[in-house]
Amino acid sequence: MNENTVKKTTLFTVLNLIAYFVTLGVNSLGSSGFFAGNSQKDISDRYMTLISPAPFTFSIWGVIYTLVLVTLVYLFIKRKDANVSKLILLISPWFILSSLFNMAWIVAFSYEWIGISTILIIGLLFSLFLIIGKIYTHRFEVPSTLAGLSFTLYAAWVTIATVVNTGLLLVQQEWNGFGISYSIWTLIILGVAVAFVLAYMSKYKNAAFPLPLAWAFFGIYATYRSGEVNPELSMAIQGVLIAGIVIFLVAAVWRFIKNGKALFPRETV
């Protein structure tokens, strides 16, 4: 690698770490109620939906942020390696953008600007999908497993967070569902989520993508089992949630085996 490339990759890895820790700090402030006196949980409880996961489900953020940190540290340490350098240049601008969206979302959500927060979380989701798309496309040219796993879990979890955020917006706006009951809409949304995951996997062959969705479905199921929500068609919704969990787990295992026991296919598909 030439000197300019080394300088560029070094700068990106440092900026990535700065963006990560600032994002972590803003998230911590948001959780503590620093912004407008509201935590994310406060807002979620205020606009409870039929697809809101149980609070324990959000512990997955600890796993996601830990894996992302390990990835960023790895990129920093190995930044002079040609293949790692290519990965850094591929994903860093989008990671920094995703961090900006993440922080802005925390602030907007805390102030109950639910409409704005929905736009911001869609931006976050878009940037994360670009990252995992680039990793998948260049998987034979760059070290893809660690970064692929980290950002796949991140993107998949933000997928369900985007759906829930949109649901919160509809509750805030007192949307009438075009005369269709919320329970029916819940069944439709869950069915679409399952279909989307399977469609995504058929194109990108990503074995880890269904796992956060399975966890989210389990968290939603837990709210029903606890009696926190008990709408009409509750048993049907619980049945779809259980079926979704099974489908996601089977799909993840099947794809992992099909990929040659790897996150992504070992051969060109």
The pLDDT value recorded for residue 241 is 98
The pLDDT value recorded for residue 228 is 82
Over residues 168-215, the pLDDT tens digits come to 999 999 898 888 899 999 999 999 999 999 999 999 999 999 999 999
Three-state secondary structure call for residue 37: coil
- Amino acid (1-letter code) at residue 190: L
Over residues 239-267, the pLDDT tens digits come to 999 999 999 999 999 999 999 999 999 87
**pLDDT range class, residue 230, cuts 50, 70, 90:** confident
The pLDDT value recorded for residue 266 is 81
The pLDDT value recorded for residue 222 is 96
**Do 146 and 68 contact (CB within 8 A), yes or no?**
no
Over residues 30-67, the pLDDT tens digits come to 999 999 888 888 888 888 888 999 999 999 999 999 99
Which residue did the predictor score with more confidence, 182 or 68?
Answer: 68
The pLDDT value recorded for residue 38 is 85
The pLDDT value recorded for residue 79 is 95
Q: What is the spatial distance between Cα 69 and Cα 75, in angstroms, rounded to a whole number?
A: 10
**Do 75 and 84 contact (CB within 8 A), yes or no?**
yes
The pLDDT value recorded for residue 269 is 58
Structure tokens at 7: 């300088």
Q: Which residues contact 235 (CB under 8 A, 6 or more apart)?
A: none
Residue at token pair 């490339």: 5
Over residues 77-124, the pLDDT tens digits come to 999 999 999 999 999 999 999 999 999 999 999 999 999 999 999 999
The pLDDT value recorded for residue 267 is 76
Over residues 110-169, the pLDDT tens digits come to 999 999 999 999 999 999 999 999 999 999 999 999 999 999 999 999 999 999 999 999
- Amino acid (1-letter code) at residue 148: G
Q: Which residues contact 17 (CB under 8 A, 6 or more apart)?
A: 72, 73, 76
- Model pTM greater than 0.85? yes
**Do 49 and 168 contact (CB within 8 A), yes or no?**
yes
The H helix count followed by the E strand count for the chain is: 9, 0
